[in-house]
Each structure stands twice: as structure tokens, then as C-alpha cells.
Structure 1
Amino acid sequence: MQHKPLSLNQVLICGAAIVTLSMGIRHGFGLWLQPITQAQGWGREEFAFAMALQNLAWGFMGIFAGMAADKFGAFRVIALGALFYCIGLLGMAWATDPWVFALFTGLIIGTAQAGTTYAVIYGVIGRNVPPERRSWAMGIAAAAGSFGQFLMVPVEGLLISQAGWQNALVFLAVAALLIMPLAWGLREPGLNAPGQVKREQTIAQALKEAFKYPSFQLLMAGYFVCGFQVVFIGVHMPSYLKDHGLPPHVASYALALIGLFNVFGTYIAGTMGPQIPKKNILAFIYMARSVAIVIFLLAPLTPTSVYLFSMVMGLLWLSTVPPTNAAVAHIFGVAHLSMLSGFIFFGHQIGSFMGVWLGGYLYDQTGSYDIVWYLAIALGVLAALVNLPVRESPIARPTTQAT
């Protein structure tokens, strides 16, 4: 008997709430850079390395989280991810050695994020939402992550100022456990029942097909740039602004504005997916980011210019997520969607590793973030160009492939 798909409202409410918490916690980590490095006597590179490792672990473990969610359903993966999140945040609060800090902040929290964010949630959406509404639903989930940033970053800044940076992390560890009951709403008890998701390919066949297909490689390359830009800005902009004499609240408001405006940006990108070729949406986003960074660097640095930049970047922040994942679903189908989204996201996280680590390394070497800003501009132009040749039509697949 074919299992009845989860209701659209159930998928969206539970999925959006999970992403709101998971991404909301994660987006505020830049606020801890200076409190932790000053308290521990570390350079910025130690903190940046842990964050870079987190992004790399998130991307790498996302592949396996996606495989597990495709095979066994999302509930177990998300619940385990929530537990890892709690453990990682507690370790981040109490670690006094840079390598122990990197273990908890990097490997453990990165693994937690792999199980509680987009690749797993989008797999549930792909399996339970009709194709004509899939891009829109993915936009809703991405917008939830942005709302989490808008909601959580000011709260995290307030917690740090009122309770201290260590206690703030303990509070977040408790909040991460709220993901577990939400995951119950994404249980797919009939995921492996006959007729639920027709698997015409093995995992090996799906991977071989995807990596031989040029459009998959191009989408992965574009996502690399996305990770480089957003994680560099998200982690290092608070310190960049403080270095230039702006008060700490400007950074908190800036990150919150990015989150608020990304609610609109991701929703718009998702709704545009069925009407406009997704590759054109992606090319525009990447080029617009580069233009925005150029204007930001040329303009006088004031709270007003920071807030305007944050609004524009917010519209472009995670708006790459719905068209990229919808394109993967349209090209390859949904049977292995979480896994393939995990591989695409791994490219994003390699870029995140480079952006956040280079930001810390080059700052310690040169006393400036200028080189990384220039790299972000050049890579944005490159990403716009590599997305234009993407072919979005469903792939022609031999009928002889079998599970």
C-alpha cells in the first residue's frame, strides 16, 4: 500500500521551525569571536579555524545525513542532530584549549547542522510536495532560516551582554533540544514502503550520473562561491565593523537585518523558480552580491551604510538555496534528493571553510580584511558566469537501471 504523503502544512510548519532554530543559532556565532578570543588569549585565526572546520564538517557530514534521511526518513537524523547540537554548544562554552574548542565547535556542531538543516529538510519537501509547488515550498523553508537569523541574532547579542558569553552558549544548548519534538512532525513511516519513492537507481548509480553531468558540477561551483561570501561576511563583519570604530550593536542589527530581508529574498527566489529559469536567478544573485560589496567598500563606513548593505545582502543571502535545490530535484528527481543536495552543499561548505579561515588568517597576517573582500567580489562574478550554461531539463536516463 502506498503511504500517504505528509500534509503540506505539517511539512512546512515543522521543517520551517527546525530550520529557524538550527540556522538562527548558527548565524550568531560571529558575535562570539571577540569575547572568546579575548577571554582565552587566542588570535582570530584559532576561532576562524574552528568555524571553518564547522562548515567543512557540516558539508561533508551532510552527504551521509542525506543518504540516511533518504533511506530511513528524516526524523531519526534530525533528532540525533539536535542532540549533537546541544553537546557541541556546551563544549564550545567550556573548552579552554584551541583544539578541544575546534572539536566541539567545528566537528560536533558541524555534524549537528548537517542533520538539522537544508539537505535533510529539502528531502522531506521533495518527497511530500508536488513538483509544481516544490520551489515555492523550498523558498518557505529557506525564508524560515532567515527569520531565525533575524529572531535569534539580537537575542544572542542580548544574552552575551546580560549573561556572559559562556552562559549564553548554555542557553542555546537547551534551545537546540527543542528541535527533537519538532522532528516528530516530519516522520515518514512509509518511506520504505513499496511504491512510496520509486528508486530506479542505486546510490552509486545516482552519484555517477550526477558527477558526470556538467550542470551538477556548475551548480556545485556556484554554491562554493555562495559559501565563501556569506560565511566570511557572517563571521567576520562584526569584527570588521568594530575595527573601524562602530559600536557592537551595529553588527547585531546588521546581521538581524540580513536575516529579516533574506526572509523576503528567499521567498521571492522560491516563487520565481517556476516562472524564470533557475540558472538566470542564480546568475543575477551572484552578480548583484559583487556589485553590493563594491559599493559597500567604496562608500563611507557609517551605521547607515552598514544597514543599507545588510538589507541588500539580505535579499541575496540564502536566496540561492531554493533555485539551486529545485534545479537538482528537477534534473535528477527526488529519490536521492537529500544525498545530492548534500553533495551540492558540500561544495558550499568548502567555500565557507575558505572564506571564514582566510578571513582570520589574512587578518592576522596583514591586519586587514581587504584581500578577502576583493576575493569575494571576483568569485561572485565567476559564479554568475558558471551558472549561465546550466541545463535544467530532466536528465535522460536509461530504462535498464534498477535498484
Structure 2
Amino acid sequence: MNIVQTRPFGQRYAFVVVAVIFLALLISAGLRSAPGVLMLPLEDAFGWRRDTISVAAAIGIFLYGLAGPFAAALMDRVGLRRTLLGALALMSLSTAASLFMTEAWHLVMTWGIFSGIGSGAVASVLGATIVNRWFKTNRGLMMGLMSASSATGMLVFLPAMAALAQSGGWKPVVIAVSVAMAALLPLVYFLVPERPASIGLTRYGATEDEPHVAPKGNFILLTLGTLRQAARTRVFWYLFATFFVCGFTTNGLVGTHLIAYCGDMGIPEVQAASLLALMGVFDLIGTTLSGWLTDRFDPRKLLGIYYGIRGLALIYLPFSGFSATSLTIFAIFYGLDWIATVPPTLRLSNEAFGDRSGPLVFGWIVAGHQVGAATAAFFGGYLRELQGDYVLAFQIAGMTAIVAAVLSMLIGPTRQQEALAQPA
């Protein structure tokens, strides 16, 4: 008897795994978005300047991206479930520790360094690893769903966190985030196997799978060696540069500073957070649709369209008047495009570097995304303090997105011959 037929759900158990990881990405992204809500309450409670708080947010975002490729290699070495459980525990504990902070460097350590490292394992590289391990078909659609969960989580939790901050200050937000992260631990432990073969299954849509061979050698050297070889290809640098802009224009600037920008324009925190939540709803639609489109159309052209729309939206925002109608229009268009770039970027990475190395290379590309986000998180706060408003920051971000649209169209057709060789 086929062993797949003896298991509950059969190959469809892959969707159970996706559901758990979707939730983990959703809540982890809520943690990464919390500094945007905490900026004004921390400013009031401790007297810290926005550029000081932005430094902690920028460090967290940077390490969130830098930890990604190492986490991908660690998942292959010591196991996905162990890596994920350790990351969730680290995020919960570091967030809880911030309840006792009294100095700005405490914020940097808890919300910057430790939560940044932990959240790097619960990010796009996790989604890419799950999709490659559990799916032979429908990868674009599944990656679109995973990507949407990450970005949507960052946005849909904002109104609740903003309401907590408005009614009780910064501490209730910290407690809620810490408890939510801890609640994920039993779900991951009991419902997420290491890989399909661990429960006698094959990937969804596959009749048989190649046996997994764990890489040998130091995982840090493997990660750096993969980067060294990927960096020899032109496609890597195009993808790295465009994803840098992606991070710069989304969670780095908009995710970190839009609530504060709206506050400068006289819009209350909860109302501004609701605007981001609306983006999250449309992001879920747009990014899942992007995954479906990625399975069917040229990913380079999709990226060009996405970045072009994003650039125009950012250039428009400072001149929108910040009326309810104009902000709603911005939220819908920007939400549809928020992280729609992930599925086509992952597809190009897999095509260029192969299924095995693709997620690890994608981890380095995501690191570029987070370097861009960290740059924008600090850059936005610095320009706000320097000029007294956010206008120039959003204008510059819009222009970088237009540049990314052009770069996307310059990516040549990927060839399997250029696939990354496994480091020795």
C-alpha cells in the first residue's frame, strides 16, 4: 500500500504545515511592526528622540535580514523545527525583558539585537524553505500566501497595538507581543514535522522525492560560501538591489514612520494604524494574487509593474492632503503592492540557483531587503528631525522604487546552467 494513503490528510498535510507557518509569520511580523506603534509612547515615557528610537528599530530590521541566510543554513543542519522553536523562544523572552528597560541601550538590546536575530528565522526564508520542502507544484501561490502573512501580520495587528498603547502606554503592547510569541511554541512543536518524509509523505504534487542529504561542514562557512558563489552572478545583484529598494519603501519607511507621519498631520494613532491595517487586508489579496500570477507570467515584468506602482504611490502621498478619501486610495493601491514582489523574486532565485540552494541565496537577497529597510527606518527618523517633516523621505523612497522598476526589466532570462554549485 502507498504509504501516503496511510497518513491523515495524505499530501494535503502540507496545508496544515502552511497554516501553522502562516500564523507564525503573521505574529512574528507583528513583533517587527511594534516599534512603529511604540515610537510615540516611548518618546512620551522616556523622553527619547525619534532618531534614537529609530536606531533600535533599524538595528532590529538589519539583524532580521542578516540572520535570515544563516537561519536557512541552520534549518538544513540542525533542523527546521529546532531552529524555529529557538527563534520563537528568543523573541518572546527578549520582548518580555524590555518591560524592565530604563535606558535607550536597553531598547537597542531587546527590540534591536535579540528580537532582530530571533525574527530573522521567522521570515521570508522560513516561507521559502517550507514551500520548497513541502510543495512540488503551486509554489508561486504558496509563496504568495506566505509572503502575504508576513506583511499582513505587520499591518493588521497595528490597530490593536495602537489601541493598547493609547489606553495603557507601551507596556501592554510589549506584554501582548511576548505572550503571542510564546503561544506559538506548542503549535510548532506538535504540528510541524521536519519534512514530508518524516511522516511518510512526499511533497504536494510529487510522486517521489529525492532523499535529503544534510550538508556537511560548518553551517556558517556554508552560508558565506553560498554568498560568495552567488555574488559572482549578475542576477544575484539585480535581485539584491531591487529587494533593497523593496525593504526601503515598505517596512523600513512606511511600516516604521507612517503612523508618526500621520500624527504630524493631526491624525490620531489608532486611525493611522487602521490605515496600515487596511493595507494589510489588501496586501493579503495582492500578494496571494501575485503568487498566482508568478506561476503563469514573466516574473521580471511583474516586478517592473509592482515597483513602478509603488514609486508613484509614495511620490503622491505627501501631496494627497491626508484626507480620509486620499489616504484610503493610497492604502488600497499600496496595500495591493506591499510585498507582492516576493513570489517573483523567489522564483527568479530558484530558477537561477536551483531548488536546493535557492532558499539560502534567497536568504541573502532578503538580507538586502532588510538592509534597505534598516536604512529607511533610520533615514526617515533622521530627516524628520533635520527638516521637521517626512516629505523628502517619502519623495526619495518613491524615486528609488522607480529605479527598481527599471532594474527589474534589466534582469536577463535565468538559465539553469548558471545554477549555484553546492559549496564543498
Same fold (TM over 0.5): yes
1:153 maps onto 2:174 in alignment? no
Give 1:180's match in structure 2, choosing from 164, 179, 185.
Answer: 185
How high is the sequence identity, in percent, across the aligned residues? 24
Residue number in structure 1 paired with 2:110: 104
What SS does the aligned partner of 1:335 have?
helix
Q: Is the 8 A contact 1:221 1:347 kept in 2?
A: yes
Asked whether the 8 Å contact 1:91–1:105 carries over to 2, the reply is: no
Note closer, same or farther for the CA distance 1:247–1:71 as it changes in structure 2 (3 Å cut).
same
TM-score by length of 2: 0.87
Distance 2:102 2:27 in 1: 26
User: Which amino acid letter does the alignment assign opposite residue 332 of structure 2?
Assistant: M
* Pair 1:348 & 2:369 matched: yes
The question of 1:126 aligning with 2:138 is answered no
* Equivalent position of 1:217 in the other structure: 237
Establish whether residue 314 from structure 1 lines up as the match of residue 319 from structure 2.
no
Counterpart of 1:229 (choices 249, 269, 275) is 249
**Residue of structure 2 equivalent to 1:330:** 351
Measure, in 1, the Cα distance between the counterparts of 2:366 and 2:114.
18
Asked if the contact 2:35/2:256 (under 8 Å) is kept, the reply is yes
Q: What pairs with 1:73-84 in structure 2 (closer than 5 Å)?
A: 73-84=79-90
Q: Render the CA deviation track for 1:301-353: whole Å, top value 9, x for unaligned.
A: 21222222111111111111121112212221221333212100110111011
Instruction: Name the CA distance, whole Å, in 1 between partners of 2:75 and 2:182.
Output: 19
By how many angstroms is 1:268 displaced?
Answer: 0.9
* TM-aligned CA deviation for residue 374 of structure 1: 1.9
Task: Measure, in 1, the Cα distance between the counterparts of 2:87 and 2:132.
Answer: 20
Distance 1:402 1:343, change over 3 A: closer
Match of 2:7 in 1: none
1:157 deviation in Å? 1.7
CA drift of 1:277 comes to: 0.9
Moved more, 194-203 or 85-94: 194-203
Residue 211 of structure 2 aligns with which residue?
Answer: 196
Alignment of 1:277 with 2:319, yes or no, is no
Long gaps (5+) in structure 1: none
Contact 1:290 1:380 in 2 (8 A): yes
Inter-partner Cα distance in structure 2 for 1:167 and 1:399: 47
Please tell me whether residue 167 in structure 1 is matched to residue 172 in structure 2. Answer: yes
Q: Is the 8 A contact 2:76 2:214 kept in 1?
A: no
Q: Report if aligned partners of 2:245, 2:372 keep a CA contact under 8 Å in 1.
A: yes
Q: Is the 8 A contact 2:156 2:276 kept in 1?
A: no
The structural deviation recorded for 1:23 is 1.1
Q: CA RMSD in A?
A: 2.5
2:163 aligned partner, one-letter code: L
2:33·2:155 contact (CA, 8 Å) conserved in 1? no
Amino acid at match of 1:322: P
How far did 1:378 drift? 1.4
User: Given the two structures, how large is their TM-score scaled by the length of structure 1?
Assistant: 0.92
Are 1:260 and 1:314, in contact at CA under 8 Å, matched by a contact in 2?
yes
Partner of 1:86: 92
Distance 2:245 2:135 in 1: 29
| Equivalent in 400, 406, 412 of residue 379 of structure 1 | 400
**Alpha-carbon offset, residue 358 of structure 1:** 0.7
Q: Which residue type is aligned with residue 173 of structure 2?
A: A
Matched, 1:141 2:162: no
Larger deviation, residues 143-152 vs 327-336: 143-152
CA contact (8 A) 1:331 1:392 kept: no
The alpha-carbon distance between structure 1 residues 396 and 73, as it changes in their structure 2 partners (threshold 3 A), is same
8 Å Cα contact 2:226/2:423 also seen in 1: no
Q: CA deviation at 1:250?
A: 2.1
Partner in structure 1 of residue 31 of structure 2: 25
1:386/1:400 CA distance change after superposition, 3 Å: closer
Q: Within the alignment, does 1:56 sit opposite 2:62 as a pair?
A: yes
Give 1:398 deviation, angstroms. 8.7
Q: Shift of residue 183 of structure 1?
A: 2.3
Could you tell me which amino acid in structure 2 is paired with residue 297 of structure 1? P
Is the partner of 2:355 in helix, strand or coil?
Answer: coil
For residues 184 and 382 of structure 2, what CA distance do their matches in structure 1 show?
Answer: 34
What is the DSSP-based 3-state SS (H/G/I as helix, E as strand, rest coil) of the residue aligned with 1:212? coil
Farther off after superposition, 238-247 or 198-207: 198-207
Q: Deviations over 1:79-115 (max 9, x none)?
A: 1111111122123333121112111111111111111
Would the aligned equivalents of 2:101 and 2:107 in 1 still touch at CA under 8 Å?
yes
Judge conservation of contact 2:357–2:422 (CA < 8 Å) in 1: no
Q: Residues 208 and 279 of structure 1: is their aligned pair in 2 closer, same or farther, counting only changes over 3 Å?
A: same
Map Cα deviations across residues 357-388 of structure 1 (whole Å, 9 max, x no partner). Answer: 01111111221212211210111111111111
Match of 2:206 in 1: none
CA distance in 1, matches of 2:259, 2:126: 30
* Residues 1:41 and 2:50 aligned together: no
Alpha-carbon distance between aligned partners in 2 of 1:400 and 1:116, rounded to the nearest angstrom: 26
CA distance in 1: counterparts of 2:325 and 2:12, whole angstroms: 45
Q: For residue 344 of structure 1, what is the amino acid of its counterpart? A: I
Gapped runs of 5+ residues in structure 2? 5-10, 201-208
- Offset, 1:199: 7.9
